[in-house]
Structure formats: structure tokens, C-alpha cells
Structure 1
């Protein structure tokens, strides 16, 4: 009997010791994953997206924009600024610098970095080299450069399809022309603008193989007078519709068309203010859409692992805006059909 009682006591003692050991291995009261704070361990897991520009401190994104020109230009810089405002509407803290020269860009980048900005957009390929150098100093910041060719861990290039804008300008110019001669005035002569001029000719010939195109460049996006003089010279050569991709200088082309009584196709909204009877419709390259789309892609972790981020008609960036004046309904129908085909990828623009 005593032996049985002794065995029973020993067994009970072993069970008690085992229970105490199990309890000691469990989470302490109030620790993560316990019932003490009602928080499941998965609720406090680290964000799945990591890398340059990704905030892990719970604060809102701080997004900076560095512009070569002024936000009042009714064109490239104005559109970029509207894109930044769209990003701000998504909850980011935003700020910008305008009229920033390439030599001033490193200081602008440094100012943003020291203020805690985690994403910086630069509006032009002119900033590519200084961005690549600055990016080495700030590996935690994500940089996006418009129309550049950089492709690095924290520097990505957003390539806006300028040539698609030129193509649509050429196509609509040829549809409107009665003289079979149309003109294109470009601004600063660099690759995107050059391709825009080439595509203008391709677009005109797409709808009318016999259409003659005159393509010239001012060499300066701010040379309104020079653009106006080129436009008037084209009219003297028989051009009765003028397309332009020249930044603020495009206003000179629209003014010339109004004075000479020919059509014009401005590259941005509101330029019809200087050509109320001659400006037909804006052929838009709305980069504000591109800025917003790129930011959304970044936030969703959907940026391509490498390569350029392409923004054109298929993304709604390049399109024909509302018509300012009444034109032949058949012309409007045809250009809308061409625009839709371009956006769908059914038209391949060969610039070779």
C-alpha cells in the first residue's frame, strides 16, 4: 500500500513539474502574440516591400520635384507640377524647385535629402548625370528621371513617348491641310524633340503620302520670337497647319498662326488664348498622368525590376484634347480613330 502511495505521489509530482515547464515556454503576459494586447503576430510583421524610397517609419512619403523651367509655362513644367499635386492628393507630402539649372541640381537634391524626402522626381534628362552621382550619396532615396536612360537600383528612367505626340500632330495637320503642306516647330534640339519632328512627318504621310512637311527647331524652348518667325516662314512656303513641340516657345507658333490665318496644334492646354480662331486642339503629352502613374506603381511594388518605365498613348499620357474650334466632323472622326489605334498598339511608328 505504501509502495503504491509512494508511486502515486511520484507520478503526481512529475505531472506538476511537466505542467510548470510547459507554462514557462509560453509567451509572457502582455507580450506580442499573446492575449494580453489582442495583437496577432502577423499584424506587426515588417512590410513586404523594401528598398530605396520605401518608408518603414510609418510616416507619409515625402516627394520632391526638381524642374528646369517654371510651373507657369503651360507645357512641360506645368504638367509636371500638376503631376506632383496629384501625388500630394494621394497622401504624400510634396515640394518642388523650379527654374533649376543642372549645376544647381545637386544642392536641390541635398536640400530634399536633408529634409527627409524619400522620393525625388527630376523633370528632364539634363539631370541624369548629376542624379546618378547624387544617388550614390543617398542610397535610401528613390530617384525618377524623366526621358533619361539611367537604370540603377535607386535611379529609374521614365520615358515619355514624345514621338507619339509628334505622330498625332502630323496626322491631324495633314487631315486639316488644303495645301498639302504642313509645318512643325520644335524647341531645344535633343533626342525626344528630334524624334517628335521625325514622327510628325511619319504621321502626315500616314494619312496623306503626298503631304509635304517642313520641320525646323528654334534651339531654345524659351525663344517665343524665334518660334514665331519660323512659323511665319513656313506659312510663306505654303504650310496651312502648324504643329509645335517647343515648350513655352510654342506660344509664338500659335500667335503666328492667328496672325497668318492658318491652323495650329499647340502642345498644351490654354495656349488657344493667343490663337482663339486658329488653335484647333491641343495634342497633349500630359506628363502629370505619368508622374501619378509611376508613383502608384512604386507604392504598389509594381515597378519593373529593370528597364525603362514607358509612358505614352497606351497609358493615356499622349492624346488629343477637346477641340477648341469646329472642324469637319469627318476629320475629327478620322483622327479619333487614329488616336485609338495608336493607344491600342495597332500603329507602329517607324522612325528609321
Structure 2
């Protein structure tokens, strides 16, 4: 019995230490700072979704948060400001922030950063990416189901890897349903020009496309409005963009950045830090998905085809290539 007492004492002390640490984490007021991507708040897509996630974390988890924008393209200055404001986590939203975020992360090795939409190898940077190609596959199927011309249009913002995910998934999904369908593709070179998006969509529609899928930020906003004006269908991205063009947006590829950001905030409050070095979220992880289908009515067979494709992607029976 005497030998057992020291062991029990050590075990009790360990339990008490764990309980104290958990209690400390729960009582601490955590702060998160985010640098929004190029187009800033009001894009009704990428930035607004991340912002909603932080608003939910503030309401449900009690976190404090601040945000910065960099319309001049100088990402380093606002990132450094967020570090100096003593945020527990600093988020860089979008692949365009990677270079500046990594430079800042090297300067402040004790600060934890989260990079969304790109992958970093730095120890103090957590990477969060999405399988946009899986969600876009479903939009492509939907577009092919509704097309009367057998021509679809894809408009990308900047010609980079993450936008290729949207394009490639869309093309594969469309051809999965109709192997003979044609997809017109164009890149704007910017995420911030709605007028250019309108012109590009108008050109594709004139060439016969009767469904436009823009993965192009505010440039895509213009494309959706033009699709509505011309009486063709469209697919939204990142958030449910139905209310951008209510007579055109049949469905949106949901990139659940709000859910992911909230979950990162929750892990921070529960554990004191984000433990994994990277996260990749697809259909199986509820990272991407298809919004409610509006404007159009699908047959029972078409609904079943979309449901089966979703299940097959999650089960690994359908492999959607990102590149």
C-alpha cells in the first residue's frame, strides 16, 4: 500500500495539471486577426464567408477579432500590425498573401499563423486548403443537365492553381454527365473587375454558352449579373450567390470557409493552439458542397445522379483531378 501511495499522488498531480491547463485555456480571451484577400469585404463570396466564420466565433466562443485590408497590395504592413496587436492567431486569406505571410512568419517565429488557400512549409504556419474541384464537379454536372446548347462557359480570375481546381472539376463533372459537351474557358487576370466579367460572360453567351461558371471574385460578380441579363443560367462560388442574380444562379459551389475558420477558432480556444500543420477539406469533410438548387427543377433521375456522384466522390469511386 505504501508503494502505491506515491504513484496515486503523481497520477493525481498530473490530472490536476491537465485540468488547470484546460481551465486556463477556457478562461483566456483569445484574439484572432485576419488579413482579407485583394477585393476585401463586400465581395459576397470569399472574404465575406471568412468574416462570417469569425463573427460566429465571436458570438459562440467569445473570441475577439480584428481585420485588415490591403487594397494597395502591400500585405506585409497589415500582417505586421496584426502581430503587434498580440493576436493569438494571424490569418492570411488567399494565395496572394503567402509571400508576405511567410516573410512575416520568419520574422516572428513564436507567432502562430494560418494560411488559407495555399500551403506553407514553415513550422509556425498552419495551411488550410480546399478540394474545390470536388464541389465544382457537381456544378459541372448540374450545368450539363440544364444545357440546351451543349456549351458551357467557365471564367477564371487569375490563372493560378487554386482557380484551375474550379475549372478542372467543372469540366470533369460536365463531361461525366455529357461526354460531348463543350466548355468555353477564359481567364480575366484579375478578381476585382466586374465590368470585365460582364464582357467576358457576354462573349461566351454570344458563342452559345447557356450556363456560366465564374471563379473570379468580384469579376465573377459581373459575370453573374450579365448571365441574368441575357437570360442564361449560372453557378456561384464560395458562398451561396443566389441573391447576386436571383434569376440566373441555379446553385453555388460552397467553399465552407466560414465553417473552417470557426473550427480553427474553436480548436484555438480549446487547445491553446492549432496542432496540425495542414488541413485539406473536401466533400467528405464538409469543406465544399453544393448549395440549394433554385431557378430550375431537376427530374428525379437527375437528382439521383447528383446524389450518387456525391456519394461516389466521398467513397473514392470517382476521383476528381485538381490539375
Provide the rounded CA distance (Å) in 1 between the counterparts of 2:107 and 2:16: 31
Instruction: Give structure 2 stretches of 5+ with no counterpart.
Output: 1-8
Matched residue, 1:146? 116
Structure 2 residue 247 is matched with structure 1 residue 277: yes
Alignment of 1:1-352 (within 5 A): 41-42=13-14, 45=17, 59-68=28-37, 69-88=39-58, 89-103=60-74, 105-269=75-239, 271-299=241-269, 305-306=276-277, 308-330=278-300, 331-351=302-322
- Which shows bigger deviation, 114-123 or 40-49? 40-49
* Paired residues, number: 308
TM-score, with normalisation over the residues of structure 2? Answer: 0.85
Structure with larger Rg: 1
TM-aligned CA deviation for residue 216 of structure 1:
0.9
CA offsets 1:96-115 (integer angstroms, 9 cap, x no match): 11345542x33223322222
Give 1:79 deviation, angstroms. Answer: 0.7
* Contact 2:224-2:245 within 8 A present in 1 as well: yes
The alpha-carbon deviation at position 152 of structure 1 amounts to 2.2
The 10-residue stretch of structure 1 (108-117 or 291-300) with the greater mean CA deviation from structure 2:
291-300
TM-superposed deviation, 1:292: 1.8
Give the superposition deviation at 1:252: 1.6
CA distance in 1 between counterparts of 2:46 and 2:245 reads 19
Does the CA-based 8 Å contact 1:184-1:214 persist in structure 2? yes
Relative contact order (C-alpha < 8 Å, sep 6+): which is higher?
2
Question: Is the contact between residue 133 and residue 321 of structure 2 (CA under 8 Å) also seen in structure 1?
Answer: no
Contact 2:46 2:239 in 1 (8 A): no
Q: Secondary structure of 2:251's match?
A: coil
Take 1:42 and 1:106, find their aligned partners in 2: how far apart are those partners?
Answer: 42
SS of match in other structure, 2:148: coil
Q: Which whole-Å CA distance do the structure 2 matches of 1:57 and 1:328 have between them?
A: 48
In structure 2, relative to structure 1, the CA distance for the partners of 1:274 and 1:120 (3 Å cut) is: closer
RMSD: 2.7
Structure 1 unaligned segments of length 5 or more: list them: 1-32, 34-39
